Structure formats: C-alpha cells, structure tokens
Structure 1
Amino acid sequence: MRMRTLGRLITASTVAVALTVTSCAADDDAASDATPAEPADRGAAARALANVESTSDVTVDRYLYPTTTGDRDDRQNWADVYLPPGDHEPGTVPLVVLVHGGGWQSKLGADVFVSLSRRLAERGLAVYNLEYRRVGSGGGWPTTFKDVAAALDFVPNVQAALPEISTDDAVVAGHSAGGQLAMWSGTRHNLEDDEIGAEPEFRPTYVISLAGTLDMRRAALNGNPRARSVMGGMPSEVPDHYASVSPIENIDPDVPIIAMTGTADTVVAPSMATNYVRAVKKAGGRGALVRFPGVNHTQIVASDSATFPQIIETISRAAHNAHRD
C-alpha cells in the first residue's frame, strides 16, 4: 500500500459491490477548506467484499486517516467509504458513520459492519465504516479514543474528495463499545481543550447506540474487565478518564439520540440504555428508547436477525430526515 505524506493516499481502487445505503450527513465548517483525501488500496477488505453477490453498483474505497499519536498502523487506521449507485449532485448524499464494537478489544473489527454498510448504501446513503486500534493491537487508553477522534475528524477531507457527500448533518451509530464511542463523538465539542478529542472538526447531528456501553463508570464497577482495560484503570484510579468519555457523564441536550437494546442482553445491561435516555430527557434533550424483547447483545446487529431490518430503517430514517430538516 502506497501513501503520500500527511496521510494523503494514492493507488485508488474502486470496487463495485452489493450495498444498501442509509442516509446521514455531518456538520463541519472546515469541510470546504479540507485537503481532499485519496483512497488507498482496499486490500483485505476488497477481497472480503469480492465474495458478496452484487445486486447493485455500490462503490467502496478505503482511506487511511492520519493519527495524532505520532504513528499509524495502516492495518487499522482506515475507513471504508460506501457510496450508493449512480451519479449524485454535490451535497445530496447524507452521511452515516459506523463505529463497530467488540469490547474495545482487537478480536472484532470493522468487517462486522460490511453487511450493514452495504444495506445502508443501497438506501441512498454514504457510509463511513471506520477502524481503530484496540486493546491487544496497539490500542487502549488513550490511543483508542485518539484514533476514533482522528478518524472522525478526517471526514471533511473525504467529503472534499467526494463532494456528493453531505456533511451538513450526519448520523453516527455504534454497537456495544462502538455505541460508547458514537455517543462520545456527539459531545466532543463540549470537552476542555486538554481532553482527548476536544475541538472536533466533525460533529454529528444525530447519534444512535446499539446496545452501547453508555455508563463506563458503572460498567467498570460492575465487573466489566474490558471497560477497565480500555480506560486504563478503575474509576477511583483514573477518574478523569471516565469523566471525559463516559456518555452518561457528558450529555448534550442539543444532540438527539436513540438508544436501542435487547431485553436478553447479558453483556450490556438493558437498564444502561433506559437510564441514559432518562438522563437525556431530564437534561431537556430528545432521546428515544427502543427495546427488542428477547434479543441478546449480538443478535441486535446480526444480519440474519429479525431486528436487522429495523436497525437499517432506524438509521436510514434518522439520516435522511436530518438531511431534509
């Protein structure tokens, strides 16, 4: 894989695959001044998608984003951009950003969202499916959070290269650990200057959590070793970490949210979503709670589950409606 300095990539490789699009857009005043990004060789992602039966000409390109940690792992610091078929006028395709879960651990990666990305793209959305370093592959505190912030702040560069994408309003959606990261992405503009992810160049208009860990302090205190690991310790040891990135401690009533959960989830307690939505409403914000009876932690986003169509519909409606408003 070849690349230029400052994270600008060459060797574009566009792959036609079957995708279903969902719409979403992102607010970024710096988009017009951003340096256009160039796609990288898709490598393993292209090979994985090559086995998918194509029903529509969705295009997929991989972009490597520059990190803020002084290094970059090209195997992990990337985002795949899915575009719906056909030609589109500038600023007409809403953007959805997807953040995968997996307990902030390296076992799972962004490939778990290939099907969701395709389906959303087929519904007319641009999808930015991002990868980041996790615990076990160079991540943890603070790298994981710095990577996600850097990936999000690279969106204006991608929009400059793909002007059909609208970044006026955007939806960010994440599952499990990605739900925590997604909710955090919607409130970074309220961070102090010295906090990780402060002064964002990209801000979503709408955030959706899919079985997300929305209370990091509670997760750690209730015995979740993955939460303790990515945070760098217990709340009593690193209280500032929790105060900075735990969604329930950083609610912004101006950012509408949806929290979706399964009642049979034994990994992230359904009450975490309930408590979060209640806190959002108490703060004067707009929050919706969606509960799936009998659904567990992984079924909620499984492409062969009964919930998958509703996940697609929810994200798609949020993105298209945000773009129209």
Structure 2
Amino acid sequence: MTPSSPEPSATPAALMAWPDLLERERPEPDAAIPYGDDLYQVVDLWLPQGEGPHSTVLMIHGGCWTTAIADRTIMNWIADDLRQRGIAVWNIDYRGVDREGGGYPGTFLDAAAAADALRVHAERYNLDISPLVAVGHSAGGHLALWLAGRPRLPEASPLRTGNPLPIDSVVSLGGLPDLEEAAREPGSGCGTEVVGQLTGGRFEDTSVPRLAPLGVEQVLINGMQDRIIPIAYAEGYAAPMRAAGDSVAVRMIDATGHVELIVPETEAWAAAVEEIEKALKR
C-alpha cells in the first residue's frame, strides 16, 4: 500500500461475486478475427460509431492462464463500455495451460501473435494504435505487462518473435506481475502449480521484473479487499521496477474485490477509464 492510499474500510460493503457480472446480458463485439487455427486463437474487435480513426485499447483477459476458467468474453462488459466511450478494443484470446499447445511457450506466443495482428488489421478498421494502451485483468495483467516487455526478451528466448507491436502504457487490473513471487506464494489465487505449467520453471523470459525496465508507463489498480490477488503484489512489483527506472503508479481502491475491477459501474473501473483516457491523450 502506498503512503497516500486510504485505509481499508472496517466494514466494507458486500463484495461482488462472479454471477453478479456473468449473469448479466452479455454485449457482443463487432467482429471476431482469427490469428490461428485453434478455437481460442481469435480476437474480438469492438468498434465505436463513426469512421474514426479510433483510439484503441489492447485487452487481455485473466483466469489463471487457464482456458477452462475464463476466456475473452469475460471482458465483454468493459469492452462495450469503452466502445460506447468512443474507444476501440482489440480483445485477445489465447490457449491456456490446460489446452493442447498452451503453457510454455504456446500461451506467450499466442498472446504475442494476437497483439501483433492488431497492426495488420489497424488500417482496415481505421484503428489509431499510437499511442496504444494494454489493459489486462488478473493473469491478463501479467500478459499485458509481458507484451509491453517483449522487446527486452533475451536473444535466445523461444518467445522472441517478429517485430513486437509497440505498447505505450499498461493498466493492470488486479494482475500477477511477478511470476517468481506467485510461484513462491500458494495464496496467489492461481496457486503455484499453474505458474509452473505456464513457465516450465523459466522466469528469465516469462516474469516481467526480469525484463525491467520496460520503458512504458504502468498503472496497477487493485482492490483493497481482493481475496484472489494479494494487494502486496502491487507494491512488491512496483518498487523494484521503479528502481530500475520505470514509471509505475499504484492505485488501491477501497470496498473492492477482484470482480469489481472489470464491472463498468464500479469505482475501480472508473479509475481504469481515467488512466486509459489519460494514456490515450483524449
């Protein structure tokens, strides 16, 4: 917790549970664009009204990097909210650790290919990708930061591919930015086993702090009552990244758990929108 962060509420309001979001009517994207042959190698595009050019957000879902837990549709409500605000959303999916081809290196290569596909399709859909903001929730927060750090991957890494799409800033919503820390802490929400499946024990090219400095603006937004991701992860990541030269802001939102971070009417999402709008210079 930063010194300026509010003290957590002694008696916070009841936190949201997943059915509070997932049982709502689900908005639909404007297009689904494949970048590979697998069912989950696809991107949903959310286009605002008008001809554009449209400021664009690269969005990455969480779910412990596990396809059976979540896919890109868990982000539909906030993607629709951004669309209504005049911001296009490139909402990517990827093969999780529980799917053939997922884990190391497949999950990372999918995320990279899905991100790079944005550059291929930007002209067709009149997408403005400079500046570009990556927004990720939970495990997707890690992938958003990792995508921003791709240019700094070790030369010998199997995860180095092509010409990485430049990302100018990252907004992580309850993310797991440091995989080495998550691998040591069974209470991380995802558990240590899934981190092992994701990384194969390799952290030099999968854990974001190993790639520091990223050279992009980073904002970590966390719920102070999040029971999935320990709030200590945010400053635990931010401090060494700042020491390495990065700009990392941490915003702790009171009366907020893990679900509220991707629910349009919440204080947490309002904070995220504020950071996204600022990063897009709107």
Give TM-score, length-normalised by structure 1.
Answer: 0.72
2:262 is aligned with 1:292: no
The separation in 1 between residues aligned to 2:204 and 2:109, in whole angstroms, is 16
Partner residue of 1:168 out of 130, 134, 152:
130
CA shift digits 1:40-78 (9 cap, x unpaired): xxxxxxxx9xx668xxxx971110013xxxxx31x2110
Partner residue of 1:143 out of 91, 101, 106:
106
2:152 is aligned with 1:190: yes
2:278 is aligned with 1:313: no
The separation in 1 between residues aligned to 2:55 and 2:171, in whole angstroms, is 15
Q: Given that residues 117 and 127 in structure 1 are in contact (C-alpha distance below 8 angstroms), is that contact kept between their aligned partners in structure 2? A: yes
2:173 is aligned with 1:210: yes
CA shift at 1:312, angstroms?
2.5
User: Secondary structure of the equivalent of 2:66?
Assistant: coil
Q: Given that residues 133 and 171 in structure 2 are in contact (C-alpha distance below 8 angstroms), is that contact kept between their aligned partners in structure 1? A: yes
| Alignment map for 1:1-325 (pairs within 5 Å) | 60-66=30-36, 72-73=37-38, 75-88=39-52, 92-106=53-67, 107-138=69-100, 139-162=102-125, 164-198=126-160, 199-223=162-186, 224=188, 226-232=191-197, 238=201, 241-321=202-282
Q: CA 1:278/1:298 → structure 2, altered by over 3 Å: closer, same or farther? A: same
User: Secondary structure of the equivalent of 1:204?
Assistant: coil
Q: Given that residues 65 and 198 in structure 2 are in contact (C-alpha distance below 8 angstroms), is that contact kept between their aligned partners in structure 1? A: no
Q: Given that residues 241 and 248 in structure 2 are in contact (C-alpha distance below 8 angstroms), is that contact kept between their aligned partners in structure 1? A: yes
Q: CA 1:255/1:227 → structure 2, altered by over 3 Å: closer, same or farther? A: farther
The size of the alignment, in residue pairs, is: 254
Identity, % of aligned pairs? 25
Q: CA 1:103/1:79 → structure 2, altered by over 3 Å: closer, same or farther? A: same
The separation in 1 between residues aligned to 2:242 and 2:164, in whole angstroms, is 27
> What 5-or-longer segments of structure 1 have no aligned partner?
1-47, 67-71
Q: Given that residues 149 and 214 in structure 2 are in contact (C-alpha distance below 8 angstroms), is that contact kept between their aligned partners in structure 1? A: no
Give TM-score, length-normalised by structure 2.
Answer: 0.82
The separation in 2 between residues aligned to 1:98 and 1:283, in whole angstroms, is 26
CA shift at 1:231, angstroms?
3.5
CA shift digits 1:54-106 (9 cap, x unpaired): xxxx971110013xxxxx31x21100111110122xxx322100000011112
| Larger Rg over CA atoms | 1
Cα RMSD (Å): 2.3
The separation in 2 between residues aligned to 1:112 and 1:290, in whole angstroms, is 23
Q: CA 1:87/1:169 → structure 2, altered by over 3 Å: closer, same or farther? A: same
The separation in 2 between residues aligned to 1:294 and 1:52, in whole angstroms, is 25
CA shift at 1:233, angstroms?
7.8
Q: CA 1:302/1:196 → structure 2, altered by over 3 Å: closer, same or farther? A: farther
The separation in 2 between residues aligned to 1:178 and 1:52, in whole angstroms, is 20
The separation in 1 between residues aligned to 2:123 and 2:83, in whole angstroms, is 19
Q: Given that residues 105 and 226 in structure 1 are in contact (C-alpha distance below 8 angstroms), is that contact kept between their aligned partners in structure 2? A: no
Q: Given that residues 94 and 110 in structure 2 are in contact (C-alpha distance below 8 angstroms), is that contact kept between their aligned partners in structure 1? A: yes
Q: Given that residues 159 and 205 in structure 2 are in contact (C-alpha distance below 8 angstroms), is that contact kept between their aligned partners in structure 1? A: no
> What 5-or-longer segments of structure 2 have no aligned partner?
1-21
CA shift at 1:215, angstroms?
1.1
